[in-house]
Amino acid sequence: MGERRQDIGVGALLFESEPDEERLCIEARMLTDGGMVIHQESEGDLTLWCFEESPHRVDTVLGHEAVRGLAEYFHVDTTEQLVEVLVMEFCGYDAAVRVRRLLKRLELAYEVHEHPVVR
């Protein structure tokens, strides 16, 4: 899963902060190989204080087997349906954390790619 994969345009916004708040955007996007990425990006003073960089990006990458496992768990047949279910189930500021928590509980493999904090 270490290679950069292309998204196929099937995806949705799980969360976006209000304009007067620290910017936080979380999206779910399907990949060409049948996998999925949950992309989280934050930007602002709090992000800079926490991670010593702004913006800060975290990608949770699921392979096609994990995507299939999520689809089975939610009883959906297509990737479009899976993305719609994720929007309904994980629509808050903690969406990425909650998706990872579910993946752990279901014992579905995923990788987290995050720029390391350098001090």
What is the rounded distance in angstroms from the CA atom of residue 40 to the CA atom of residue 35?
17
What average pLDDT does the chain have?
Answer: 91
Taking alpha carbons only, the member of 8, 36, 14, 12 closest to residue 111 is: 36
pLDDT tens digits, residue range 19-32?
A: 999 999 999 999 99
Mean predicted confidence (pLDDT) in 93-118: 93
Asked if residues 82 and 12 have their Cβ atoms less than 8 Å apart, the reply is: no
What is the rounded distance in angstroms from the CA atom of residue 57 to the CA atom of residue 72?
29
Give the orientation angle of helix 64-74 with respect to helix 79-89, to 10 degrees.
Answer: 70
Query: Could you check whether the bond before residue 19 is cis, i.e. omega within 30 degrees of 0?
Result: no
